[in-house]
Structure 1
């Protein structure tokens, strides 16, 4: 059993797009959007019965394969690594949304059912028409839903390189959230292999190993709890860590990811490159490079080249798609040279 953090995510009611953009999103903090999608036909179907919601979703299913993940009953639906980090602790196979819905309905009264889920199934390819029947809240029509369908499963603490609105369609969801500033205290797992593509924390919230992860107490001091009922939504800002637990035997969530930054800005490759090129330098050299990063990346005068004529700022000046393409060519050429 995971204890409740001391903090609670604030709740906003009757949220409009104007209110969201003016009063909620600029705070860059999570927010519960109470009843945001309570009018959706999908939510109304779920209130009638699990079977009614399954029928609603099946009506959009193209039958295209999706990734189905499952765990042994003893793992209680927790998707993670095995004990020595040599593999994941769950099985993966292709299946269909309708097949998973049928399995979930058959197991509704089974107390030791295996953990089972379809994760992030994209509406345009897998369930076209779901978004037209259940219009995306607060966002433009070009932002599409991804559906998460399963039973009582747990997604380990992770973060996404997107902003996110997560809408509970059926079943209750329990989120525990941590700000990006606590990344160091969450003890991130391997970059190379992750349960679902996103980096995850190695700390088990139900039983934290404080001897192995002593700084986690600092992260927990800033954790906050958000609990969703069907029809509620949660705004998760960019790169906020979140641990997600589905509490019921039939659970459906639709989420919307978006990133307002231009696509040519790609910070994760830069981080990985810096880990390779800078992190293990001698301490004096690393300190010198910290000054360079402060001057050219994180300093208050960014971009840094304002003292140069506009035509001569080069990569010190504002980045655009053309400049980014030129930089990528330079990096590719530099990295391909033998060391």
Structure 2
């Protein structure tokens, strides 16, 4: 996505954006009151300062890497390799027909060794993403504690060199903890979706749709509305031990700033089954509605507004025990809906 030099706007520096609010004194008992009820990103400094991994990282990055390799189950993982000319930005190739990186299966300790050997701006960048701690660092489960989530969701670990993940959203709420190195989180509220120029929904670098804007060097000729997104943005650098709460579906880009970086995150959702995740339903809705004539689409817009986005949607005419999916969805009802949806989609 080359652009002429005069179209670049380095003045849109991420470090000039305001930082999310920092919050302290958060406990499991006041977590909703102090954090989740506000529906905005919040920073929790020194959240994991007591983790042994973080304490190793504060000694040195090599000490953090040694701490991990000594406790690694060493299963093969997908090592992503980004050529030097990508500047570590996970993105598409020039024709948007594939990706700008390659991947190979490597034992996890070998992948870490490769990362440690690659610390030059002129070399390839590497990362291993979204590794379940329970499967690959099982002895760390008792150390990577998160007292805010009870029962705590199982954590994932992310390892890499100086890599940038473009702005994307998660389908679940997220607490992300920097365990080694340093990372910059840049965030945009969900209503900025139009101004972020989201790429293909069904061809993505890592499963979630991404913004096509290069936040480090935005091209306002190609993406003029990004100027509005920037005005609504937040950005913060987090050190080892710091954490950030990111509500779904806030857009966020993450840039790793050290030669070796480790992130641990926890996702959680009120959804009972995978079929309740919003993105698959969005893709199915696009498939269902895009072929319709204008009048029919407008009619369905009214239906969606009525059933999904009307806070005063009347239900008094239906007995509470008969409201089904419109009422309190139990795990049993959710599983039944999952089976019904699967049957409908497989007809």
TM-score normalised to the size of structure 2?
A: 0.88
CA RMSD in angstroms, aligned pairs only: 2.3
Q: CA deviation at 1:127?
A: 0.9
Matched, 1:253 2:263: yes
Pairing of 1:91-106 with structure 2 (within 5 A)? 91-106=102-117
Matched, 1:290 2:301: yes
For 1:316 and 1:36, how far apart are their aligned partners in 2? 38
For 1:105 and 1:315, how far apart are their aligned partners in 2? 51
Pairing of 1:73-88 with structure 2 (within 5 A)? 73-88=84-99
CA separation of 1:277 and 1:245: change in aligned 2, threshold 3 A: same
For 2:141 and 2:312, how far apart are their aligned partners in 1? 42
Q: CA deviation at 1:183?
A: 1.6
Aligned to 2:134: 124
- Contact 1:14–1:34 (CA<8 Å) still a contact in 2? no
Of 47-56 and 61-70, the range deviating more from structure 2: 47-56
Deviations 1:108-139 (A, max 9, x none): 4x342211111111100011111212322422
Q: CA deviation at 1:12?
A: 1.9
Aligned to 1:27: 38
For 1:114 and 1:224, how far apart are their aligned partners in 2? 29
- Contact 1:70–1:117 (CA<8 Å) still a contact in 2? yes
Matched, 1:55 2:35: no
For 1:45 and 1:220, how far apart are their aligned partners in 2? 36
3-state secondary structure, aligned to 2:187: strand
CA separation of 1:324 and 1:205: change in aligned 2, threshold 3 A: same
Matched, 1:223 2:197: no
CA separation of 1:286 and 1:33: change in aligned 2, threshold 3 A: same
3-state secondary structure, aligned to 1:270: helix
- Contact 2:90–2:165 (CA<8 Å) still a contact in 1? yes
- Contact 2:61–2:181 (CA<8 Å) still a contact in 1? no
CA separation of 1:172 and 1:137: change in aligned 2, threshold 3 A: farther
Deviations 1:282-312 (A, max 9, x none): 333222222111222211134x543123465
Aligned to 2:279: 268
Q: CA deviation at 1:74?
A: 1.7
- Contact 2:178–2:240 (CA<8 Å) still a contact in 1? yes
Matched, 1:40 2:71: no
Matched, 1:89 2:100: yes
TM-score normalised to the size of structure 1?
A: 0.90
Pairing of 1:145-294 with structure 2 (within 5 A)? 145-263=155-273, 265-294=276-305
Aligned to 1:71: 82
For 2:232 and 2:28, how far apart are their aligned partners in 1? 28
For 1:154 and 1:227, how far apart are their aligned partners in 2? 13
- Contact 1:8–1:224 (CA<8 Å) still a contact in 2? yes
CA separation of 1:89 and 1:39: change in aligned 2, threshold 3 A: same
CA separation of 1:13 and 1:321: change in aligned 2, threshold 3 A: closer
For 1:47 and 1:331, how far apart are their aligned partners in 2? 49
Q: Count the aligned residue pairs.
A: 335
Stretches of structure 2 lacking an aligned partner (at least 5 in a row): 1-9
CA separation of 1:328 and 1:137: change in aligned 2, threshold 3 A: closer
Matched, 1:133 2:143: yes
- Contact 2:125–2:162 (CA<8 Å) still a contact in 1? yes
- Contact 1:306–1:317 (CA<8 Å) still a contact in 2? no
Pairing of 1:290-309 with structure 2 (within 5 A)? 290-302=301-313, 304-309=314-319
3-state secondary structure, aligned to 2:142: helix
